[in-house]
Structure 1
Amino acid sequence: MVDWVKHAIAWHVYPLGFAGAESENDRAAPVAHRLPRLESYLDYAVELGASALALGPIFQSATHGYDTLDYFAIDRRLGDENDFDRLVREANARGLKIILDGVFNHVGRDHPFFRDVCERGPQSDKAAWFRLTWPQGWQSGNEPQYESFEGHDQLVALNHDEPAVAEYVASVMDHWLARGADGWRLDAAYAVPPAFWAKILPGLRRKHPNVFIFGEVIHGDYPAVVSESGFDSLTQYELWKALWSALNDRNFFELAWALKRNDALLDGFVPVTFLGNHDVTRIASKLSDERHLPHAVALLFTLPGTPFVYYGDEQAFRGIKEDRVGGDDAIRPAFPDSPGELSDLGAPIFRLHQELIGLRRRHAWLHGARVTVHHLENEALVYESAAEGEKILVALNLQEAPARLPVPAARELLAGEANLEGEGEERVAVVPAHGFAVLGF
């Protein structure tokens, strides 16, 4: 993995929602220069503690960004290439890397390549780009049967066995890296054969040795996917699920099991960790007890991984994902024109993020730390994160009363709240009801 990722904290933004873009792309409408709105939040991202800006889809699409129409053009609802270039310059001037979202498993049904196939039939030079079944007596304008992404008719799956598709995807990734991007999130990577990525990533790395490339993988054999594809990392959905589930059920045994599995991943790669993204219910809504939101934030920044903060989570935004048309709208909201217009209600969680991100960046070794559980109850947990001769202890209490938790040899409180009692190996942290503490040595 490239060096800058060890220090990376990414602020993850879904630009179409953030900028208040229309839900459908009127391709006859003039370009709307909304991408520059992000520039007014670059200082906000730095103030938060971020060192990278991870953008959801920004390329020309029909609706939500994941039905791409042109990989080489900025979506007209966001702006144009000049807007992108300026955003890169302004972000880089503040020390922020740029990570783009690459939707390469499928294209929108109105993508010119697929429309060409529908018009010209099997004779189209793009016919092999898709997984098609032609009807008998095909006539121009009739759509063949095609494989789609998870049953969504508007998303036409690409044929990743076709060499021209691999060449095309590589050219798209190379184009935007040359234009200033620093990394790629590969959407729906679990649906693409790892061998496809193994063909194109080595060449990209030779041209762009500092690129960070990770895949969206929800479940499965994480180490095998990374090894076979050549990814630097992938999304750690197992840990995400265990984190909120353990807090809701007040069952730290579930989290302790997930931490063992996560620790094993570090032999091959460091995963991308998160509390929320554009596809899941907000963590502040997911938790059944809002008093445990600080615990979730503390876990994110004291466990190994490359942490991503989904825009609004740092303000304790609420939002529930629903399985219906428009069901993502609540988790992909518009932000006000400037940070000063954000509600003061989110200030306490924003400050908590600042505190814990600051701790994380002062202890960059946490990126690849190994975790050892020292004390485990249903409603109380003490674990050690350690690497490079350094370590911290984290004590979590979900009980209705203060908890006396063993923190041998801990010397100082780094974050949270606790009173330290006793000395040496008998040291105890008295953590308030529904409190947490991060302790140093």
Structure 2
Amino acid sequence: MTWVDHAIWWHVYPLGFCGAPIRDGDRTLTHRLGRLSHWLDYAVELGASGLLLGPIFASESHGYDTLDPMVIDPRLGDEDDFDRLVAGCRDRGLRILLDGVFSHVGSQHPGVIRALAEGPDGPDADLFDIDWQAKGGPAPRVFEGHSSLVRLNHSSDRAVEYTSAVMAHWLERGIDGWRLDAAYSVPTAFWSRVLPGIRERFPQAWFLGEVIHGDYPEFVDSSGVDSVTQYELWKAIWSSLKDRNLFELAWSLKRHNGFLADFTPNTFIGNHDVTRIASTLGADGAVTALAILMTIGGIPSIYYGDEQGFTGVKEERIGGDDDIRPPVPDHPEQLAGWGQDILRAHQDLIGLRRRHPWLTTATTSTLHLENARFDYRSTAADGADFLDVRIDLTATPRATVIDSAGQTLWSQQAADSAAH
């Protein structure tokens, strides 16, 4: 067992969380990162064991258009602010995962500008993926059609050295691992060149690759990452509850069992890129989704605000992420009281998971299945224990968790009654 086997992440998008300007161009040094430090006790009380942080490095706008990965974004603060955050996490036993954008950089990255000015023989040319023969002059190749995001040249030694240097720098500063943004867009051979050297220096570090579609086990095996984002299961949870088609969830849990045989996926029902679960399913449905998340195998993450029932819809437009990446008050005591019931449900279900740590690698089997009713059993890898979970969507969504002795450990209906 390692620290990762007990990890439950609280996923925070710092620029939004701290109220930093995203698109107005203001890069005045402002010590906003301290706001996150005010919420560390809240994260512990929620039941989280670590912070999974979105981008915190100097960037052009949303954080994924990096300008300097060795510098804290001045909209958030400076290295002293970061050191205080790390110290605060260490004092509370919280781990820290940083978001590493090694697929691309911002188009205004100084190295990109130098490379284009100096040509293919310049010292920065090999770091970036530039078409030197393009009509009209050299043209950087970009990430998924976004002209503001210039691809790294992942076949070059320079890109390996650049990525390794960034990873090592912040691991030395006290973090515990990396989320690898858009890992799916980078050849797995690149990760397999970078990660062994980092692991040799930091054997306890954990690496999570962002992968949406495809062969998850093959990606893990060929890249050397520890885990990937389980988007298949995310989709199955919300859409099966929304459409009252629990056959979809049952099928995805079979697939999930197969993944668990190879690695332990990162499971979630919300993140910084998708519509809020409460907007999709309402408060009752969101709690049912959480009950599923907390009773199946995986390393779960909770997106900040979901535990308060925050709503927000992802839109495909400029600023379309703003509603799902909102600022929070300076202190958790300033939150409105209407989120207390769903917060209590999160604390209860996270607590249940912590009392059954074997759930991290548990597999599921179907006990009963209809469109609107699904009973499944989550069984420990060694077969020594199990929990039964009943999902009922015939009226208001409801979940019940029962232990191997037949005792009800948690009931959504009972939790609702207690709250009212």
Same fold (TM over 0.5): yes
Distance (Å, rounded) in 2 between the aligned partners of 1:353 and 1:347? 10
The 5 Å alignment of 1:267-346 reads 267-287=261-281, 289-346=282-339
Q: Give the letter aligned to residue 187 of structure 1.
A: D
The aligned counterpart of 2:391 is: 396
When residues 25 and 227 of structure 1 are mapped into structure 2, their CA distance, relative to the original with a 3 A threshold, is farther
Structure 1 residue runs without a partner (length 5+): 419-430, 436-441
**Which stretch of structure 1 is more off in the superposition, 334-343 or 403-412?**
403-412
Distance (Å, rounded) in 2 between the aligned partners of 1:180 and 1:210? 12
1:33-72 CA-to-partner distances (Å, cap 9, x unmatched) read 0011111100000000000011100000010000000010
Per-residue deviation at 1:134?
2.7
Q: Give the letter aligned to residue 221 of structure 1.
A: D
SS in 2 for 1:160: coil
The 5 Å alignment of 1:58-137 reads 58-134=56-132
Distance (Å, rounded) in 1 between the aligned partners of 2:9 and 2:150? 30
Distance (Å, rounded) in 2 between the aligned partners of 1:315 and 1:85? 28
When residues 49 and 200 of structure 1 are mapped into structure 2, their CA distance, relative to the original with a 3 A threshold, is same
Per-residue deviation at 1:116?
0.3
1:129 and 1:162 in contact (8 A); partners too: yes
The aligned counterpart of 1:8 is: 7
Per-residue deviation at 1:275?
0.7
The 5 Å alignment of 1:131-210 reads 131-134=129-132, 144-210=138-204
TM-score, scaled relative to structure 1? 0.90
Distance (Å, rounded) in 2 between the aligned partners of 1:164 and 1:25? 33
The 5 Å alignment of 1:211-290 reads 211-287=205-281, 289-290=282-283
Q: Give the letter aligned to residue 413 of structure 1.
A: T
Overall identity of the aligned pairs, in %: 53
When residues 401 and 340 of structure 1 are mapped into structure 2, their CA distance, relative to the original with a 3 A threshold, is closer
The aligned counterpart of 1:57 is: 55
Q: How many residues align?
A: 415
Q: Give the letter aligned to residue 286 of structure 2.
A: L
**Which stretch of structure 1 is more off in the superposition, 396-405 or 163-172?**
396-405
1:214-258 CA-to-partner distances (Å, cap 9, x unmatched) read 100000010000000001000000000000010011111110000
SS in 2 for 1:325: coil
When residues 135 and 197 of structure 1 are mapped into structure 2, their CA distance, relative to the original with a 3 A threshold, is closer
- The structure with the larger Rg is 1
When residues 69 and 411 of structure 1 are mapped into structure 2, their CA distance, relative to the original with a 3 A threshold, is same
1:322-365 CA-to-partner distances (Å, cap 9, x unmatched) read 00000000000000111011111111000000000001111111
When residues 131 and 10 of structure 1 are mapped into structure 2, their CA distance, relative to the original with a 3 A threshold, is same
When residues 368 and 125 of structure 1 are mapped into structure 2, their CA distance, relative to the original with a 3 A threshold, is same
Q: Do residues 358 (structure 1) and 351 (structure 2) align?
A: yes
2:297 and 2:362 in contact (8 A); partners too: yes
1:54 and 1:100 in contact (8 A); partners too: yes
